Amino acid sequence: MVMGSLAQETEVAIIGGGPGGYVAAIRAADLGKEVTLIDERERLGGVCLTEGCIPSKALINAVDLINSAQAAKRFGISFGEAQIDLDKLRNWTGSVVNVLTKGIDGLLKRRGVEVIKGRARFTGPNELAIEGADVSAIRFQHGIIATGSRISELPAARDLPVWSSADALALPEIPERLLVVGGGYIGLELGLVYAGLGSRITMVEFFPNLLMGADQDLVSIVVKNCEKRFASIMVESKVVGLEKSSAGFVAQVEHNNETTKLEFDRVLVAVGRKPNTDNLDLDQAGITPNDQGRIEVTPEGRTSVPHIFAIGDVAPGPMLAHKASREAKVAAEVIAEHHSEFDNRAIPAVVFTDPEIAWTGLTEREAEEQGRNVNIGRFPLAALGRARTLGRTDGLVKIISDPDSGLVLGVGMVGPHVSELIAEGTLALEMGATLEDLMVTIHPHPTLSEAIMEAAEVAAGAAVHINPPGK
Ligand code: FAD
């Protein structure tokens, strides 16, 4: 067959096979739609599976083992120094990704979703041109744009062989001195991975705090740990120049109007991501992205052209896989003429640092910005039996509630495994739970989940395991 010679028709065309696109494809097919999924990558799963959530968490788990083994000295258990076989580690994270991406292939195949590997762009409101595939054009009744986002470049590093997060996750080597530009969640997670593998990390962040978007009450506990693990953390600082040197790179870092030259073996740039909306000829479909390059949508996920939907990182909101997947289900259901809306009260956010940070719903900072009167209950993990048994008391849970009704408005956590615990907070928000609901729910003992009940008790002035105020 001649490449790019076929035109075909489909009910639903989905561009992008990440946690937005492939989930929409599965749901739409299950609801009886004929679906074509187009992605230019070799493997499905998008950024999340191939160079994001999954490989990063596999590596973080591996490094956690090194840290836990070192921490076990306190319990009287010693291991020798960790021997790192980079090839095996790389193969292991690769195998995790392979199994999952093959799983997606199977799920789509069994549902009869046609997958086209190629690059799509709009040629009209009901038409796509495809490059690099046998099928050259697709006419569709409904379209879903799920093209995700890509790494933002650092102007000072343009054309230099610096690492992106994807490069760092491919584990090319363990550099002795690694500069991490950007103290957001990706910079922090990968900085901690390489610190655990033995690199000396210097982190440079433009803003006054790391993880600017998150509640600093929670972040400060992680920063304390990073201060021990990293060689240096420079906030309110900017990489204004970068050059190749014989050893690696020389970076010029500006802080307080003074510029310092520092030498590194490798540089990892993690300064944010931008939506993939500029590669689609959206104007041909009649869609104009907003100033941030994102595509505005209705609660049903419809763009300004009602039969075309946008989900995931291209749509406004946090760039997170679970937000993409929820929007995907809504879009597929609306297309199948079911009543569905993205009416979620909260999108949980997790940062897989050590310890982990997670929050959902209203944060203390947002309440302050909105001038909203809230009741905050804080429970330190130091007062929790399970945290003591784990030897991990560096954390807290806080619950933000309405002072009159006791309605839970937000939950924030820092500590071990809070990535798992935050789901309870999100469920509480979705169910319209009050402090009392959390307090009277029996939480198993001894578990970290008890900290949620305890924080609710603190907020309600009924704390059992910490002293009442003034005593
Ligand atoms: P993507 O996953 O970006 O998928 C879009 C797909 O569309 C890609 O495969 C792309 O190749 C394809 N595409 C783009 N343009 C075209 C075109 N014109 N034609 C054909 N195909 C096209 N999120 C979390 O929730 N939890 C985490 O722990 C987490 N960790 C992360 C760690 C890192 C290092 C990174 C980089 C991201 C992480 N994220 C995490 C974010 C998460 O990966 C994204 O939010 C998620 O992948 C967005 O899903 P999506 O479906 O919108 O797009």
The predicted model gives 182-208 an average pLDDT of: 97
Q: How far is the CA of 273 from the centre of ligand 1 (A)?
A: 10
Q: Among the atoms of ligand 1, which is closest to the Cα of residue 315?
A: 52
445 given a catalytic annotation: yes
Q: Which residue has the tokens 């319990």?
A: 75
What is the band of 1 on the pLDDT scale with cuts at 50, 70, 90?
Answer: very low
The predicted model gives 213-221 an average pLDDT of: 92
pLDDT for the residue 89: 97
Q: Is 356 in the pocket of ligand 1 (CB under 6 A)?
A: no
Q: Is 289 in the pocket of ligand 1 (CB under 6 A)?
A: no
Q: Is 114 in the pocket of ligand 1 (CB under 6 A)?
A: no
Average pLDDT of every residue of the chain: 96
Q: Which of 26, 49, 53, 180 to mutate to test the pocket of ligand 1 (most atoms within 8 A of CB)?
A: 53
pLDDT for the residue 6: 81
Nearest CA to ligand 1 atom 43: 48
DSSP string, 85-130: -HHHHHHHHHHHHHHHHHHHHHHHHHTT-EEEESEEEEEETTEEEE
Q: How far is the CA of 174 from the centre of ligand 1 (A)?
A: 26
Nearest CA to ligand 1 atom 29: 53
Q: Is 101 in the pocket of ligand 1 (CB under 6 A)?
A: no
Q: How far is the CA of 250 from the centre of ligand 1 (A)?
A: 31
What is the band of 31 on the pLDDT scale with cuts at 50, 70, 90?
Answer: very high
Residue 3 has pLDDT above 70, yes or no: no
pLDDT tens by residue, 314-343? 999 999 999 999 999 999 999 999 999 999
Mapping DSSP onto H, E and C, the string for 395-435 reads CEEEEEECCCCCEEEEEEEEECCHHHHHHHHHHHHHHCCEH
**pLDDT, greater one: 2 or 326:** 326
Q: How far is the CA of 196 from the centre of ligand 1 (A)?
A: 26
What is the band of 98 on the pLDDT scale with cuts at 50, 70, 90?
Answer: very high
Q: How far is the CA of 387 from the centre of ligand 1 (A)?
A: 34
Helix 86-110 and helix 53-71: axis angle, to 10°? 140
Q: Is 147 in the pocket of ligand 1 (CB under 6 A)?
A: yes
Torsion of CA 91, 93, 98, 104, to 10 degrees: 180
Name the phi and psi angles at 425, rounded to 5: -60, -40
Q: What percent of the chain has pLDDT over 90?
A: 95
pLDDT tens by residue, 355-367? 999 999 999 999 9
Alpha-helical segments (H) within 254-306: 282-285
pLDDT for the residue 470: 72
What is the band of 7 on the pLDDT scale with cuts at 50, 70, 90?
Answer: confident
The predicted model gives 298-311 an average pLDDT of: 98
Q: How far is the CA of 275 from the centre of ligand 1 (A)?
A: 9
Q: Which residue has the tokens 């009602």?
A: 306
| Cα 328 to Cα 332: distance, rounded to the nearest angstrom | 6
Handedness of CA 11, 17, 20, 25 (dihedral sign): positive
Predicted TM-score (pTM) of this structure: 0.96
Catalytic residue among 322, 338, 417, 445: 445
Grouping H, G, I as helix, E, B as strand and the rest as coil, residue 7 is: strand
What is the band of 4 on the pLDDT scale with cuts at 50, 70, 90?
Answer: low
Q: What percent of the chain has pLDDT over 70?
A: 99
Residue 2 has pLDDT above 90, yes or no: no
Residue 353 buriedness (CB in 10 A; 0-12 / 13-18 / 19+): buried
Residue 153 has pLDDT above 60, yes or no: yes
What is the band of 263 on the pLDDT scale with cuts at 50, 70, 90?
Answer: very high
Among 5-9, 209-213, 381-385, name the one with the lowest average pLDDT.
5-9
pLDDT tens by residue, 387-406? 999 999 999 999 999 999 99
Q: For residue 156, what is the DSSP state?
A: G
Q: Is 186 in the pocket of ligand 1 (CB under 6 A)?
A: yes
